[in-house]
Amino acid sequence: MSDVASQLNVNTVLNRDIDPNTGAPYNYQMRDSELDKRTTALDQDWQEHMGGQRTTMEYLKANNKLAIIPGATYTTPDEDSVVSAARGQIKTTIVNACWQVVFSSSPRRIRFDVGCRPEGSE
């Protein structure tokens, strides 16, 4: 990974955005200095077949192949009431057991299979 690549798992700018101060792309892989390193036979063959363009985006722009596509219309369906009830019960059980473990005065194991009672209290 390059020193100029983000070490965070978040993108604060789009890869295609251009730095107005330098005129270079924020994405270091799209800078001329990086693109000039693409000298393998595969890269050169691809560029020859794509009219000399160095990147897919350059090819699409040069050939008017870009289109604006609206976002997907998929929405998550409502969850079944039985599943919702089960999730709620499981959540309550886990939260209660966690608090029991936190405030337990004994090192005894908490058993989840018997309603979160300490071991030996059945």
The Cα 61–Cα 45 span in angstroms is 20
- For the entire predicted model, the pTM comes to 0.42
Is residue 1 predicted with pLDDT exceeding 50?
no
Number of structural domains the chain divides into: 2
* 63 and 91 inside one domain: no
22 occurs within a structural domain: yes
* 27 and 55 inside one domain: yes
- 84/68: higher pLDDT: 84
76 occurs within a structural domain: no
pLDDT at 48: 92
**Full DSSP string of 47-61:** HHHTTT-SSHHHHHH
